[in-house]
Amino acid sequence: MSDATIAEPSDVEEIPAGYDDGQDHAGLPHHTSTGLSNTKLAMWLFLGSECLLFGGLISTYMLYRNRQADQIGPDQLWDIPFTSATSFVLLMSSLTMVMAVSAAKRKDEQRTKLWLTVTALLGGLFVAGQVYEFTTFYREGLGYTTSLFSSSFYTLTGFHGVHVAVGIIMLLSLVAMLAKGKLVGDNAETVEMIGLYWHFVDIVWILIFTLVYLIPA
Amino acid sequence: MNRRVRIAAAVGLAALVAGCAEDAPQDMFQPAGPNAQSIYDLSVPVFIIAGVIGVIVMVFIAIIVVKFRDRGQAIPDQVHGKPTLEIILTIIPALILIGVAIPTVGTIMALNDTSDTECVINVTGQQWWWEIDYPTQSGCGSGIDQPIITSGQMVIPIGTPVLVRGTSRDVIHSWWIPRLNGKRDMVPGRVHTNRIEADEPGIYAGQCTEFCGLSHANMRMEVIAMTPEDFEAWKLNQTKPYESPAEGTLAAKGEQTFISQCARCHQVNGLEDADGAPIVSRPDLSVYSGAAPNLTHLMTRNTFAGAAYNLLTPECRPKVWNAPSETVGAEYLKGVTPDCLNSVELREWLRNAPAKKPMYADPTKLEATDGLTRGMPNLALSEDQIDELVAYLLERH
Amino acid sequence: MFTTGSKFLVGAAVLATLSAIAYGVTQDGIMGTVGLGSAAVALWFLAGLNLYTRDNNYWADEIASIEQAPAAVPAPANSVWPFAFAFGAAVLAVGLVTYQAVFIIGVVLLLVSGAEWTAEAWAQSASADTGHNANVRDRIANPLEFPLAAAIGIGVVVYAFSRVMLFLSKTNTVIAFAVLGSIVIALAFFFAYRPRVPSKAAAVVIGVGALGLIAGGAAAGLSGEREIHPHETTSGLNEEGVDICTSPDEFEADLKASQSVSATAAVAATITLGSDGELSYDLNGPSAPGAVGITLPRSNPNNIIFQNRSGEPRRLSASLGTMVAEGSTNEVPVLMCTTLVDDGGAQNMTMRIDLPSITTPGGYSFFVPGVESAELNLVVP
Amino acid sequence: MAIIERPTDTPALAGAGAAVTPSSSYGNFRRPVQATGWKSWAFTVDHKKIGIMYGVVAMVFFFVGGIEALLIRAQLAQPNGTILSADKYNQMFTMHATTMVFLFVMPMAAAFANYMMPLQIGARDVAFPRLNALSLWLFVFGGIFINSSWILGGAADGGWFMYAPNSSVPFSPTNGVDFWTLGLLITGVASQVGAINLIVTALNMRAPGMKLMRMPIFTWMALVVQFLLLFSIPVITVALFLLMFQRNFGANFFSVEAGADPLLWQHLFWLFGHPEVYILVLPSFGIISEVLPTFSRKPLFGYPFVVFSGAAIGFVGFGVWAHHMFAAGLGPISVAVFSVATMAIAVPTGVKIINWTLTMWGGKLWFTTAMLFAIGLIVQFTIGGLSGVTHAVAPSDTQQTDTYYIVAHFHYVIFGGAVLGLFAGIYYWWPKVFGKMLSEKIGRWNFWLMIIGMNMTFGPMHILGLQGQPRRMYIWTGDRAGDGFFDLAFWNLVASIGSLVLGIGAFLFLVNVWVSRKNPPAPADPWDARSLEWLTTNPPKEHNFDRIPTVHTLDEFFHRKYEDVGEGDQHDYKQVATGAEVIELEEKYADAHIHLPSPSYWPMVLAISLPIIGYGVIFNTLLIVAGAAIAVLALFGWALEPPTADESEFDPPAPDGDQPSKELAVSV
């Protein structure tokens, strides 16, 4: 909570050139007290609070991970090779996201759109994998209400899946907006913003994959 | 102004002390056992420290308010603070708190040590009463050779550290006998312990203190401490064999009514059906928590329905409750005699229990519990049946 | 501004609101309130609409606004939406007599084309400037189009690909996934670093890919999933009448079963099978010397932790008397057990026992199948 | 609301026919740029209008919660009360707490933060004005949603702490708990969005020279609160989602028969719930840290200490949640650790009290109503804080928790700490916000009746609790009331009478507002104030400051009015300008181009969609679909809309001299 890390501008006597009310309207140079743009700071704060959201869900899962009583348990269900493949695809999407951000910074709109689409596609594959996985689990006897383990597993991974799906919709809409020139504000920054979100969702998945699938119960 | 404030403060403090009720049965400032005593010994100095600090702050503010009020003086010096003073004034409360923290931690550890208990009693909470059972391994006094189940009132021998091992069948309840120890939540699925010990014979009142639904206010309990001799007598009575009422009496009719109406949920040990097979109640088929009080020795207790109502008439109650510690055990062991029975409230209860104590027993609104009630439903008994049941229950000593 | 129609509607809305509140406060049950509340909402909506449009009676208010009507507008351009709308209606009709899925597609088509049509028509009459009108259209339609297009795009990928994988064998899913992922990335790099490739080629590749995926998904969806069998569980085997609880052997339900518990504190009892083949128990707090068994409250969810320290995989079983099996008069034993717990492992068993132990001659007990000496009395008062 | 510029010759709508105006061509899809009328409030993004609406709605809920409290006290005035049934009583105390915490104190603090923070740091608005509007409307609709349960089958009845498993369907079969859960999720989103917005505002939008350690103390405390919200709301969100899935979709997170641990809910709830306490009181601490220096004519004593103790309270506040669970059956080690941590948090709190009293020491005290409320806060909060120390001692707490002693404690903290501070703020800033003074005479009555009322109501509760009366009981019995004249029956009656006095005291505030509505305009600087929000007119212009001020010191406004003419160590402050003169000087050098964000429909639309989804979860799945569709539409409409409206949204000035929709110039 300490603000010690935030860089302070030197004691300004005169209003610096380009000093504005800090509103996000297009085309005006910004000046902010921290030097970070408003949207970027807001995204970081949002992701900070998301950490606690997933923290709560992961804690719930860790508490209940073995409480399946006489019902089906995780060790009977996991298909580690498959989940590793989906995790790999999601990780690769972070790479393509980086490509998109770098293309956007170079103002290479063509490639930005390409990489964003590819990122969305890879994300879509991941979600498809999750849908497939949930279907097989359900067929194998793990309903949402079967046990504490099942409820907390589906809730945690479901929340993550929804985050990925929202990310995909944002990516695709971004492509459409770029194509139609409808984007409000700085293109590169908007791409970077969604990139931050996307990387966050990926990192959370790495955590979930490790804690839920890899560490034996 | 200054003087007035000080007088007001003094009067306030005096009022606080003098303004307390006398002999409130759940007063935490009248400890009656070593656990409550150690809490008392710890908290009283804290109260005094807090009180003194409070008075100092208030007097200081009163002085400021009087001394520095606007009398047209010049704008004061724009002092932004004195770091040394600040640091000193930070360290002083920190030191006081360290002084409080050390004995606190010690007491926490001491209160949690239950290795010295000599007697184990299980309590199980449910909406809205406590079941109390003495398991065979409890080792109270001369030992328990067959389980004793009672409800609402726990009987313990004095001078014996008792381990209360509790859980709950539905929602969280809290076991609290203020004069014997602090409270402990009884959480379903978990077993929590609470160590109690009474120095003197007496009736120690308590109350469920974790909000547990509709009749939370009506979920009470008492601990009755008696001398070891009295306790042995009580135990002997609790395990004596069942006696059917004499043929032809009203109570004998009551036995049949009890079997047809009450034995579904309420166990009376030793009760047998026409074939001589023991009747086992199945409260789990009618009540959501799956339990109903065991009524084998109802009239040895002097409260009923979650200790919310008196089985003794208002005239007889003080004779037991206010008895001096030498005789309270004997008075209690007399149980409820016919002339002391509070038949008014008992009848009201039998006539329509949910009307007397709010419970969740409306048969049209039990969708969420698969038709099971929470608490006792209205059995629509006739007045004759009620007479018979009262007569029958009166013999449950 | 209050015309006759709006006065009537406002009056009716006030009445409905008041009666909804009165009903809600005085009566039990919510259906009446919901009904009256809905009526109130609908009436307020109508009243608001009426007020806003002044009963569609501009003359009642002012004449001037008519005179400021926009200039004549150019003839509307060609539009695909009337056709799409009609097509949607047809699909909907077909769906009514065939499959629900077709019906839903028809509804969606109808809604989307209707909305697009409306937006287009509205925008075309906005002003005389077509460029401005295009902006107006976008303002109305884009917030719907973008998310819908994105959702459909991703929905197709997710649906089709998950069907394909459900069709494939378990090993092949991994391969399919890795292959498809690699292809996507490879193509992406190819297009990114071959700027000469005309964008039409990219569009063709994406189109072919999408078609292939849809076709694959449809084919896989029609030919059905591979067979996925439910795993056997302890409870399932018990229900089937398999004597898992009296057997020291391993069943499918025991395979790789969970071997540890996170609930370690505050349980009803911890029962340990020692290397000497004896069951010992530990309760929260001390118990009196010479106690011979565990007492558990009746009809209560009790958590029991079984620790296996015997050196071999063992399970803890509880014998809880007998009951009459459904649909017959045979008495069958009531048993509960954990899965097979490896040496050094532990497992939690939540047991609720509704009948007291006195109903069974000999009472209840815990035992370990395969270890004769391991037995422990269980008293349920 | 508008783009304010000096007159230009640019035509508003290029390329359009003369008859085409934005109002006709966009129809209802035009941005709501009106400067007057209800639309100028409903769709506003102006932080000041939003702040006022926050305050008004919160006040409404204050009186709703107050009536619930009066009913509770009426029921408990006599043994075996019959005014409320057990069921209604349980709903009443649940909703009293929920309303007061989530729908009064939090939004009231948000009202001040919204209104004052941009003014105090010299900004023209918050960082994300439309998000700000979203927060407001989510709170409003969330509050209405929760309270609609009263007429839809009964309100929540599990207590505001909603302990599992008592909150599960078998134990609370009405939809009340569902309304509560979903409603808090909605208001949670409001707080979360607001927190991000205000943090960015405070960190990024400070005027030149406004270093962090020159920020007015209220802004500092509001900033700490927003961080607390940012990190605690997600935790309760998880808990509420688990509860919603448990009740509505058959999950079994709290089903003990499936092996669940009911303490999970308690940990999640209190991990949110304890920071929540500081979320409630810190804004008021900030307010009185502004009020006390102003009316003592002295800077806040030890400003850095107050700042850092506020931050410390916020930080340690996350590490003490289990002190609500001392009786819940944690192990002795946890209990000891949390007990000591709880004592530790008393230190920074004590620092604040010391600093406030030392601020007054040596001052020139002016006892306005605002000052009275501030001093009242110090006294009452000290009592609450000290009783707090008595149950930081865990063994004592096992005797005190869930008794009326706790009720007394937290009412001294929340009413004595938070509410009195909010009233101090209302009286202090009323002329700033509305340009009129409130009556000081009625204000005094308001203050004294509230103080007497609260001490009569909550004071006796200390005795009730220590002598064994548990809380959350719909009746109490004479059997356990003890003997003597001062028995528990007596104190219960005193508390009930006190609640009436308190109610009358609070009602006097409304009387005051009504009586003062026609007061003449307030002077520019009625209190001889110190911080930046006074460096503009009363009420402030739409764009807050004519020119963005440059900040040189803490208490900038004061130092523009007074100069130290003393020599060496001798200080002598002489007034060199009046407040009005300083403000006039600012107007003289007004900025030429001021771009303000434009109003928008979308925050309102998005806010409406969430309660629709909520009703859908409870009553009908189709409503969920409808609500979600509206939400998506609103989100994308929002994303595609520029923050500041295009020129083409504004009608050009009509030739006959009608008012244009765009304000054209500021008079110099």
Topology annotation, domain C234-379: Immunoglobulin-like (2.60.40)
| Among candidates C154, C157, C181 on the partner chain, residue whose Cβ is nearest the Cβ of A169 | C154
CA angle in degrees (0–180, nearest 5) for A151-B124-C356: 90
Say what the pLDDT of residue D1 is.
40
CA of A208 vs chain D CAs: smallest distance (Å): 16
How many domains are contained in chain B? Answer: 2
- Alpha-carbon distance D297 to D304, whole Å? 19
Render pLDDT for D349-368 as a digit per residue (tens, 0 to 9).
999 999 999 999 999 999 99
Tell me how far apart the terminal alpha carbons of chain D are, to the nearest angstrom. 19
Say what the pLDDT of residue C229 is.
82
Q: For residue C266, what are the contacts with CB-CB under 8 A and spacing of at least 6?
A: B187, B190, B191, B192, C284, D329
Q: Are B376 and B242 in contact (CB under 8 A)?
A: no
Say what the pLDDT of residue C258 is.
55
- Asked whether residue B370 is domain-assigned, the answer is yes
DSSP per-residue letters across D357-377: HHHHTTS-B---HHHHHHHHH
Residue D100: pLDDT over 50: yes
Residue D84: pLDDT over 90: yes
Residue of B nearest to C269 (CA): B191
- Count the residues in chain B: 397
Render pLDDT for D452-510 as a digit per residue (tens, 0 to 9).
999 999 999 999 999 999 999 999 998 888 888 889 999 999 999 999 999 999 999 99
Q: Average the pLDDT over A114-135 and give the result.
A: 93
Q: Average the pLDDT over D613-629 and give the result.
A: 93
Q: Are B5 and B63 in contact (CB under 8 A)?
A: no
CA of A99 vs chain D CAs: smallest distance (Å): 24
Say what the pLDDT of residue C2 is.
64
- Alpha-carbon distance C128 to C123, whole Å? 10
- Alpha-carbon distance C37 to A10, whole Å? 60
Residue A28: pLDDT over 70: no
Residue C225 DSSP label: P
Q: Are D217 and D286 in contact (CB under 8 A)?
A: yes
Chain C residues lying within 8 Å of D19, measured CB to CB? 68-71
Inter-chain CB proximity C142 and D636 less than 8 Å: yes
C83 confidence band (pLDDT: 50, 70, 90): confident
- Asked whether residue A2 is domain-assigned, the answer is no
Q: Which domain holds residue B296?
A: 250-301+336-394
D440 touches B at CB < 8 Å: no
Render pLDDT for C183-218 as a digit per residue (tens, 0 to 9).
888 888 888 887 666 777 777 887 888 888 888 888
Say what the pLDDT of residue B213 is.
92
Which of C137, C152, C154 to probe by mutation at the A interface, max A CB count within 10 Å? C154
Of B112, B132, B109, the residue nearest B122 (C-alpha): B132
Render pLDDT for C35-56 as a digit per residue (tens, 0 to 9).
888 888 888 888 888 777 766 5
What region does B192 belong to: left with phi over 0, alpha with psi -120 to 50, or beta?
beta
* CA C274 to each of CA C271, D331, D489: distance values in angstroms, whole numbers, following the listed order: 10, 27, 59
| Among candidates C291, C301, C354 on the partner chain, residue whose Cβ is nearest the Cβ of B188 | C301
Q: Are B267 and B278 in contact (CB under 8 A)?
A: no
3-state DSSP percent of chain C in helix, strand and coil, to 5: 55, 15, 30
Q: Are B20 and D377 in contact (CB under 8 A)?
A: no
β-strand partners of B269: none
Render pLDDT for C91-106 as a digit per residue (tens, 0 to 9).
888 888 888 888 888 8
Say what the pLDDT of residue A20 is.
42
pLDDT above 70 as % of chain C? 86
Inter-chain CB proximity D199 and A45 less than 8 Å: yes
Say what the pLDDT of residue D17 is.
42
Inter-chain CB proximity D27 and C263 less than 8 Å: no
Q: Average the pLDDT over A123-131 and give the result.
A: 94
- Asked whether residue A26 is domain-assigned, the answer is no
Residue D433 CA, chain-centre distance (Å), reads: 16
Phi and psi, residue C235, nearest 5°: -65, -40
Q: Are D110 and D187 in contact (CB under 8 A)?
A: no
Chain B residues lying within 8 Å of C267, measured CB to CB? 190-191
Inter-chain CB proximity D564 and B181 less than 8 Å: no
What SS3 class is residue D480?
helix
Sheet of strand C317-324, all strands in order from the earlier edge strand to the far edge: C293-295, C371-379, C364-368, C317-324, C331-337
Structure tokens given for D234: 């997600």
Which of C162-176, D82-96, D465-479 shows the lowest per-residue confidence on average (mean pLDDT)? C162-176
Chain A residues lying within 8 Å of D235, measured CB to CB? 52-53, 55-56
Say what the pLDDT of residue B74 is.
85
Mark out chain B residues that contact chain C at CB-CB < 8 A: 114-115, 117-120, 122, 124, 131, 133, 135-139, 143, 147, 149, 163, 165, 167-169, 187-193, 278, 280, 282-284, 289-291
Domain segments of chain C as ranges: 1-69, 130-223, 234-379
- Alpha-carbon distance B166 to D301, whole Å? 52
Residue C66: pLDDT over 50: no
Render pLDDT for A58-105 as a digit per residue (tens, 0 to 9).
999 998 887 887 788 887 888 899 999 999 999 999 999 999 999 999
Residue of D nearest to C21 (CA): D151
Chain C residues lying within 8 Å of D635, measured CB to CB? 143, 147
D16 confidence band (pLDDT: 50, 70, 90): very low
- Alpha-carbon distance B217 to B237, whole Å? 31
Say what the pLDDT of residue D452 is.
96
Instruction: Using a threshold of 3 CB pairs under 8 A, tell whether chains C and D touch.
Output: yes
| Among candidates A3, A32, A151 on the partner chain, residue whose Cβ is nearest the Cβ of D204 | A32
Say what the pLDDT of residue A33 is.
84
Query: What is the CATH number for B48?
Result: 1.10.287
Q: Average the pLDDT over A37-47 and give the result.
A: 93
What SS3 class is residue D616?
helix
- Asked whether residue B195 is domain-assigned, the answer is no
C228 confidence band (pLDDT: 50, 70, 90): confident
Residue of B nearest to D573 (CA): B75
Chain C residues lying within 8 Å of A165, measured CB to CB? 154
What is the identity of the amino acid at D268? L
Residue A11: pLDDT over 60: no
Inter-chain CB proximity D17 and C34 less than 8 Å: no
Positive/negative CA dihedral, B121, B125, B130, B131 = negative
Structure tokens given for D60: 């409404």
- Alpha-carbon distance D609 to D182, whole Å? 13
3-class secondary structure for chain B?
Answer: CHHHHHHHHHHHHHHHHHCCCECCCCCCCCCCCHHHHHHHHHHHHHHHHHHHHHHHHHHHHHHHHHHCECCCCCCCCCCCCCHHHHHHHHHHHHHHHHHHHHHHHHHHHHHHCCCCCCEEEEEEEECCEEEEEECCCCCCCCCCCCCEEEECEEEEECCCCEEEEEEECCCCEEECCCCCCCCEEECCCCCEEEEECCCCCEEEEEECCCCCCCCHHHCEEEEEEECHHHHHHHHHHHCCCCCCCCCCCHHHHHHHHHHHHHCCCCCCCCCECCCCCECCCCHHHCECCCCCCCCCCHHHCCEECCCCEECECCCCHHHHHCCCCCCHHHHHHCCCCHHHECHHHHHHHHHCHHHHCCCECCHHHCHHHCCCEECCCCCCCCHHHHHHHHHHHHCCC
Which of B15-29, B232-246, D316-330 shows the lowest per-residue confidence on average (mean pLDDT)? B15-29
* CA D317 to each of CA C342, D282, D401, D408: distance values in angstroms, whole numbers, following the listed order: 43, 11, 19, 21
Inter-chain CB proximity D230 and A36 less than 8 Å: no
Of C342, C273, C264, the residue nearest C305 (C-alpha): C264
Chain D residues lying within 8 Å of B108, measured CB to CB? 332, 335-336, 339, 394-395
Say what the pLDDT of residue D668 is.
26
Residue B16: pLDDT over 50: yes
CA of A24 vs chain D CAs: smallest distance (Å): 7
- Asked whether residue B275 is domain-assigned, the answer is yes
Chain C residues lying within 8 Å of D21, measured CB to CB? 68
pLDDT above 70 as % of chain B? 95
Render pLDDT for D329-352 as a digit per residue (tens, 0 to 9).
888 999 999 999 999 999 999 999
Packed helices D332-360 and D303-316: angle between N→C axes, nearest 10 degrees: 160
Query: What is the CATH number for A194?
Result: 1.20.120.80
Chain C residues lying within 8 Å of A112, measured CB to CB? none
Say what the pLDDT of residue C75 is.
61
Say what the pLDDT of residue B36 is.
95
Inter-chain CB proximity B290 and C288 less than 8 Å: no
Inter-chain CB proximity B24 and D467 less than 8 Å: yes
Chain C residues lying within 8 Å of D631, measured CB to CB? none
D366 touches B at CB < 8 Å: yes
Global pTM value: 0.91
- Alpha-carbon distance D408 to D401, whole Å? 11
| Number of other residues whose CB lies within 10 A of the CB of residue D128 | 25
What is the identity of the amino acid at D556? E
Of B253, B171, B155, the residue nearest B211 (C-alpha): B171
Q: Which of residues 169-208 of A touch C (CB under 8 A)?
A: 169, 172-173, 176-177, 180, 182
Say what the pLDDT of residue A8 is.
37
Which one of B274-278, C12-16, D281-285 scores highest in mean pLDDT? D281-285
What is the identity of the amino acid at D270? W
- Asked whether residue A32 is domain-assigned, the answer is no
H or E element, residue C281: strand C279-282
* CA A13 to each of CA A9, D201, D549: distance values in angstroms, whole numbers, following the listed order: 11, 21, 10
Structure tokens given for C69: 């009507």
Chain C residues lying within 8 Å of A173, measured CB to CB? 146-147, 150
Q: Are B245 and B270 in contact (CB under 8 A)?
A: no
Q: Average the pLDDT over A117-123 and give the result.
A: 93
- Alpha-carbon distance C153 to A120, whole Å? 10
What SS3 class is residue A3?
coil
- Asked whether residue B14 is domain-assigned, the answer is no
Chains touching chain C, criterion 3+ CB pairs below 8 Å: A, B, D
Structure tokens given for C242: 């398999």
Q: For residue B352, what are the contacts with CB-CB under 8 A and spacing of at least 6?
A: B378
**What's the alpha-carbon Rg for chain A, to the nearest Å?**
21
Q: Are D228 and D296 in contact (CB under 8 A)?
A: no
pLDDT above 90 as % of chain A? 58
Residue D5: pLDDT over 50: no
How many domains are contained in chain A? Answer: 1
Q: Which domain holds residue A48?
A: 39-214
pLDDT above 70 as % of chain D? 92
Tell me what the pLDDT averaged over chain C comes to: 81
Say what the pLDDT of residue A25 is.
39
Structure tokens given for D198: 């205000």
- Alpha-carbon distance D488 to D481, whole Å? 5
The complex scores an ipTM of 0.89
Residue D57: pLDDT over 90: yes
- Asked whether residue A84 is domain-assigned, the answer is yes
C222 confidence band (pLDDT: 50, 70, 90): confident
H or E element, residue D15: none
Chain C residues lying within 8 Å of A82, measured CB to CB? 170, 173-174, 177
CA of C35 vs chain D CAs: smallest distance (Å): 11
- Asked whether residue B187 is domain-assigned, the answer is no
A91 touches C at CB < 8 Å: no
Q: Are D22 and D650 in contact (CB under 8 A)?
A: yes
Instruction: Using a threshold of 3 CB pairs under 8 A, tell whether chains B and C touch.
Output: yes
Inter-chain CB proximity C33 and D331 less than 8 Å: no
Residue of B nearest to C268 (CA): B191
Phi and psi, residue B168, nearest 5°: -140, 150
Say what the pLDDT of residue D367 is.
95
Structure tokens given for D170: 């078998």
What SS3 class is residue D526?
coil
Inter-chain CB proximity B143 and C379 less than 8 Å: no
Mark out chain C residues that contact chain B at CB-CB < 8 A: 265-268, 283-293, 295, 297-303, 350, 352, 354-356, 358-359, 379, 381
Of B26, B213, B187, the residue nearest D472 (C-alpha): B213
| Among candidates C25, C133, C139 on the partner chain, residue whose Cβ is nearest the Cβ of D29 | C139
| Among candidates D15, D24, D261 on the partner chain, residue whose Cβ is nearest the Cβ of C129 | D15
- Alpha-carbon distance C243 to A194, whole Å? 56
Residue B266: pLDDT over 60: yes
